[in-house]
Copies of this chain bind each other. A is one copy, B any other.
Amino acid sequence: MGINYFRNDGRDTRFVLLEHLDIEKILSYDAYKDFGTDDFRMIIEEVLKLCKEELGPTLQDGDQQGCIYEDGVVKAPESFHKCWKVMAENGWIALDNSPEYGGQGLPFALSSLLGGLFVGANLSFMMYVGLTTGNARLIESFGTEEDKALFLEKMYTGVWSGTMCLTEPDAGSDVGALLTKAVPDPDSDDPRIYKIEGTKRFISCGEHNLTDNIVHLLLARIEGAPAGTKGISLFVVPKIWVNPDGSLGEPNDVFCNNIEHKMGIKGSSTATLNFGENGQCRGILLGEPNTGMAKMFQSMNEARLGCCAQALGLASSAYDFARQYAKERVQSPPFTNRDAGSVPIIQHEDVRRMLMNLKAGTEGIRAMLGKIMYYLDMAEHDPEEGARKEAHHLVDLLTPIAKAYSSDLGYELIRDAIQILAGVGYCSEFPVEQYARDEKIVSIYEGTNYIQALDLVGRKLAMEGGKVFQNWIEGVMKFAQKNSQDADFASDIKLLLDAARATGDYSLQFIQYFKDGKLAMIPLNATRFLECCAEVFMGMLLIEQGMIARGKLKETGAESADGMFYRGKIETAHYFCRNMLTKVFSRHMSLRQNDTSAIDIPEEAF
Contact = CB atoms under 8 A, between A and B. Distances in A.
Interface of A: 167, 170-174, 177, 201-202, 260-264, 270, 323, 326-327, 331-332, 334-336, 342, 346-353, 355-356, 359, 411-412, 415, 418-419, 422-423, 425-429, 433, 436-437, 440-441, 443-445, 448-450, 453-454, 458, 491, 495, 519-520, 522-524, 526-527, 561, 564-565, 567-568, 571-572, 574-575, 578-579, 582-587, 589-590, 593, 595, 597-606
Contacts of A575: 595, 597-598, 601
Given A411-B415, A586-B582, A423 B444 contact: yes
A602 B567 contact: yes
Contacts of A331: 170-174, 177
Contacts of A458: 335
* Residue among A170, A568, A586 with most chain B CB within 10 A: A586
A590 B174 CA distance: 40
17 contacts: A172-B422, A177-B331, A261-B427, A263-B418, A263-B437, A335-B458, A336-B520, A348-B523, A349-B599, A352-B598, A418-B440, A495-B593, A571-B601, A575-B597, A578-B590, A579-B595, A582-B586
A427 B262 contact: yes
A-side binding surface: helix, strand, loop or mixed? helix
B260 A427 contact: yes
Contact of A571 (B177, B334, B605): B605
The 6 closest A-B pairs by CB, nearest first: A568-B605, A349-B523, A586-B586, A571-B601, A263-B433, A578-B593
A527 B350 contact: yes
Contacts of A454: 335, 350
Contacts of A579: 590, 593, 595
Given A323-B606, A348-B523, 5 more contacts: A173-B331, A177-B331, A346-B603, A353-B527, A495-B593
A600 B585 contact: no
A355 B599 CA distance: 11
Contact of A601 (B356, B418, B527): B356
Contacts of A585: 585-586, 589
Nearest to A176: B332
B173 A429 contact: no
Contacts of A412: 412
B590 A574 contact: no
Contacts of A202: 423
Contact of A526 (B263, B350, B441, B444): B350
A598 to B, nearest CB: 4
Nearest to A427: B260
Contacts of A444: 418-419, 422-423, 425-426
A568 B601 CA distance: 6
A583 B528 CA distance: 12
Contact of A524 (B332, B350, B450, B587): B350
A131 to B, nearest CB: 16
A19 to B, nearest CB: 16
